[in-house]
Amino acid sequence: VLLLLVRNYGISEKVAGFVVSVPVMCSVPVVVFAGRLHKLGPEWAIRLLSFVEFLGLVLMFQVGELGGLGPLVMLMVGSTLLYAANWISNVPLAPLRRRICIRDHWALNVEGVTGLNLAMSFGGSFYGPVVSRAVLGVSMKQNLLVASLALAWLGCFLAVELGVQVLLQDERAGQGVGARGREGGSCQNDVGLNDGKRTERAEKAAG
């Protein structure tokens, strides 16, 4: 985006550096309200954030010729929505980790799942600008960059939507933890066992 601002909008590199920080700084207050997403439940919270990301991408598309502050403001507003929603998208996904992890698996236990999530997040933070620079190396058109972001968003949206549906299907069917939980291998089952043990100890102490 920094290169885009300098080449297409005629902004100096120094000013562009400040402008690029606007979406990040505007996203900070949003984090304060991220906890309220839990009230919506993971499924609808994720869909809400996906819609905000999509809205941000729509606003980032350039319509007509560049001129005045209008296109620049739209680009910054869209970038802010996209960045903020993507930043806090981990909030509704975090409670689902215990349903993904498998206690006795060397890679899919809770530590492994958390580490994989962090690795993918840092990997995206590194390769995102690299891919964006490669796209701008082909063409400096703003819409080409936004289209590449939209393609990545679509892939993530479909993957997350499918994954959440699989994780929540047992609850919809009223089957509790599900197959992995019945086999005694899920981290969510560990939570239930620990709660049961604490209740049993409390009853013995009271008796």
- Per-residue pLDDT tens over the stretch 15-33: 887 888 888 787 777 777 7
Do 1 and 20 contact (CB within 8 A), yes or no?
yes
pLDDT tens-digit profile of 143-155? 888 999 999 899 9
Where do we find the tokens 């190396």?
Answer: 137
- Per-residue pLDDT band for 54 (boundaries 50, 70, 90) equals very high
The three-point CA angle 123-126-130 to 5° equals: 125
- Averaged over 2-17, what is the pLDDT? 79
What is the reported pLDDT for 128?
Answer: 80
Does the pLDDT value for residue 40 go beyond 60? yes
Q: What is the CA radius of gyration of the chain?
A: 22
pLDDT value of position 201: 52
What is the domain partition of the chain in residue ranges? 1-177
Cα 160 to Cα 178: distance, rounded to the nearest angstrom? 19
68-70-74 Cα angle (round to 5): 145
Please compute the mean of the pLDDT values over residues 159-174 and round it to a whole number. 74
Q: Is the dihedral of CA 60, 62, 66, 70 positive or negative?
A: negative
Structure token pair of residue 131? 């891919």
Question: pLDDT value at position 202?
Answer: 47
Tell me how far apart the alpha carbons of residues 76 and 56 are, in angstroms, rounded to a whole number.
Answer: 9
pLDDT of residue 75: 87
C-alpha to C-alpha distances, 168 to 50, 96, 128, 164, nearest whole angstrom: 18, 9, 30, 6
Least confident piece of the model among 101-105, 130-134, 192-196: 192-196
Q: What is the pLDDT of residue 200?
A: 54
Would you state the pLDDT for residue 57?
93
Percent of the chain with pLDDT over 70: 77
